[in-house]
Amino acid sequence: MTAEQILADIKSDRVKKVIHDGDFSAEIDDQYALAYCLGSEKIDLLAVNAAAYYEEPTATDTEEIMLKSYDEILRVLGELGMNDGSVPALEGARTRVSANENFAPSDSPAARKIIEIAKKSDEPVYVIVTGPCTNVVSACLIDPSIMDKICVIWLGGNCIEEENKPFHEWNLYADYAASQLLLNMDIPLIMLPCDPFGSVKIVADHTDFENITGDTPGAELFRKTLPLQLTTEEKYNTTWYKIMCDLAGPAALSIPDSMEFSIIPAPLMGDDHKYAIDSTRRKIVYGVNPNSEAIVADAMRAINKLVNKD
């Protein structure tokens, strides 16, 4: 799809086929993004993939952390009563592309599932990536034909304000070579950057989480258990809030009018960790200034519906 076709498609009423790929053991916004995907009427979630996250990309056991992410997926699906395989959960890459000789792909069940779903689909498949892009980039390196069948929605990078400005962002740095390849290859892409006017603006507090009602295990998980992993009961009920960057991924499909989209040349990520802009490069969709109130409300509505379904 061209960037223009992507914009037209995400704003259409068509229910989108989606794969969610994330670092689910990193914080808690991935879990809410997963439930958002499961509860949104605009999304048909076909699979969920585990990825690693990185505090220090040069000193991390990728396999161990990916498996923690995979276990967290299984925990969430179990609390939702969805551990019957209806939404397949897949283990992701055990090595970063950045760590592979000649930046070879990191083969994994997650990468193979992306390929399988894309090749079988008769319509575009959106791969929402709320972590490092290792799995989807590896899938495209293994089978480049799927690039005509997918569109990646990537929570990655900082806002592209100017050339030659140093940048640092968690998902981008997690697998730097994979991030470079995502921007350099002809993979249809919606880039949702983080700082300073990107997805970091999406914030929720206890009043938002308490909009999730009911007494099911899933309701309790999303209303209180997950937030209390990060704070105390006292703070949760008063001053605590949580930046929920990853909700931007599902929101791009569920309520696309909640952010500002434009079409830009794919930035070049240099080895000097700076962006370079070249107007002749292929075009991508770029989404900034998300409406936090609208996105959080839509996410909590979708999750509420999910956890209280019959």
Mean pLDDT of 250-255: 98
Higher pLDDT, 44 or 159: 44
Q: Tell me, what's the pLDDT at 270?
A: 86
The tens digit of pLDDT for each residue in 115-163 reads: 999 999 999 999 999 999 999 999 999 999 999 999 999 999 988 876 6
CA–CA separation, 205 and 236 (whole Å): 8
Contact (CB, 8 A) for 128 and 199: no
CA–CA separation, 203 and 205 (whole Å): 7
What is the DSSP secondary-structure string of 2-65? -HHHHHHHHTSSPPEEEEEEE-TTSSSHHHHHHHHHHH-TTEEEEEEEE----SSTTS--HHHH
Q: Whose structure tokens read 């161990």?
A: 64
Higher pLDDT, 61 or 173: 173
3-state DSSP assignment of residue 268: strand
C-alpha dihedral, 255 to 260 to 265 to 270, nearest 10°: -90
Mean pLDDT of 264-276: 90
Mean pLDDT of 185-209: 95
What is the DSSP secondary-structure string of 119-131? HH-SS-EEEEEES
Q: Tell me, what's the pLDDT at 163?
A: 64
Phi–psi pair at 91, nearest 5 degrees:
-75, 140
Q: Tell me, what's the pLDDT at 207?
A: 95
Confidence label for 55 from pLDDT (cuts 50, 70 and 90) = low
Mean pLDDT of 44-57: 86
Q: Which residue ranges form the domains of the chain, and what is each CATH number?
A: 3-195+243-286 (3.90.245.10)
3-state DSSP assignment of residue 101: helix
This prediction has a pTM of 0.96
pLDDT at 62 over 90: no
Q: Tell me, what's the pLDDT at 165?
A: 66
Percent of the chain, pLDDT > 90? 86
The tens digit of pLDDT for each residue in 77-87 reads: 999 999 899 99
